[in-house]
């Protein structure tokens, strides 16, 4: 049975789940969520996910939300990205770190800087968040010193989680060239067979609304 992933191209959190599905080899298909038209606030979508958020995974009668939980489901189903037996808690540690320190801040900052009308962008908040994220990038760059992957010797959910927002082209204070180890690591992900850019993997992009 084909897994359905309710998602949209601009969502870094949806990208984490979509990329995990794509690289896992599981049979799946994206279902477009028109976030910018307010679909997430409709009663129909709230019936699908009371949180009103994407991604949402449906596998037959089974439904799951939140990217980290979906990534773990994909691991349990495919046997991929979980790390070795002695690495699973380290993988989880970096996923939780990403959710709190990296993706939550990068996602909000990218939204404030690119998807709000220019006259409504809070410059003081933007500057503050860029400062916080600089420290976050430094932590990730340090972890990747001398390493190809965040945990262990192969791609895990830690990598798929932490890369979620870092492939997007819109400006949000992340300059890939400034972070040597992160740049190399992102190249490792890009060179993985089956990798796709978020706007190629999922429906929906800023160009569709231009």
CATH number of the 3-81+195-209 domain: 3.40.30.10
Q: Does position 210 have pLDDT exceeding 80, yes or no?
A: no
Tokens of 90: 């380290």
Q: Yes or no: say if 59 and 3 are a contact pair by the CB < 8 Å rule.
A: yes
For the cut 90, the answer to whether the pLDDT of residue 209 exceeds it is no
Rg (C-alpha) for the chain, rounded Å, is 17
Cβ-contact 140, 162 below 8 angstroms:
yes
167 and 197 Cβ atoms separated by less than 8 Å? yes
Closest by Cα among 165, 148, 151, 198 to 30:
198
**Domain range list for the chain:** 3-81+195-209, 88-190
Helix (H, G, I), strand (E, B) or coil at 179: coil
Are 107 and 165 in contact, with CB atoms under 8 Å apart?
Answer: yes
CATH of domain 88-190: 1.20.1050.10
Q: Which one, of 200, 182, 204, lies nearest residue 106 by Cα?
A: 182
**CA separation, residue 134 to residues 93, 120, 144, 149, 210 (Å):** 20, 23, 15, 20, 30
Q: What is the mean pLDDT of residues 168-187?
A: 97
pLDDT per position as a tens digit, 111-127 = 999 999 999 999 999 99
The pLDDT confidence band at residue 1, using thresholds 50, 70 and 90, is confident
Of the two residues 66 and 210, the one the predictor is more confident about is: 66
pLDDT tens digits, residue range 46-73? 999 999 999 999 999 999 999 999 999 9
Q: Please write the tens of the pLDDT for every residue from 75-86.
A: 999 999 999 999
Give the predicted TM-score (pTM) of the model.
0.96
Handedness of CA 129, 151, 54, 183 (dihedral sign): positive
CA atoms within 13 A on the CB side of 48: 21
pLDDT, tens digit (0-9, with 9 covering 90-100), for 79-113: 999 999 999 999 999 999 999 999 999 999 999 99
Cα–Cα dist 93/73, whole Å: 17
């Amino acid at each position: 049975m084909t897994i359905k992933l309710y998602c949209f191209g601009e969502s870094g959190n949806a990208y984490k789940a979509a990329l995990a599905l794509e690289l896992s080899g599981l049979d799946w298909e994206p279902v477009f969520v028109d976030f910018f038209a307010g679909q997430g606030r409709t009663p129909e979508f709230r019936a699908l996910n009371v949180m009103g958020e994407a991604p949402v995974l449906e596998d037959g009668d089974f439904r799951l939300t939140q990217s980290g939980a979906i990534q773990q489901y994909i691991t349990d189903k495919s046997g991929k990205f979980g790390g070795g037996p002695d690495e699973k808690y380290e993988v989880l540690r970096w996923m939780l770190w990403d959710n709190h320190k990296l993706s939550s801040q990068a996602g909000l900052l990218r939204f404030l800087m690119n998807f709000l009308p220019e006259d409504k962008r809070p410059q003081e908040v933007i500057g503050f968040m860029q400062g916080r994220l600089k420290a976050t990038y430094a932590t990730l760059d340090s972890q990747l010193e001398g390493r190809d992957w965040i945990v262990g010797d192969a791609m895990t959910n830690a990598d798929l989680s932490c890369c979620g927002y870092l492939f997007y082209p819109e400006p949000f204070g992340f300059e890939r060239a400034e972070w040597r180890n992160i740049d190399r690591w992102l190249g490792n992900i890009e060179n993985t067979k089956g990798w796709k850019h978020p706007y190629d993997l999922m429906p929906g992009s800023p160009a569709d609304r231009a």
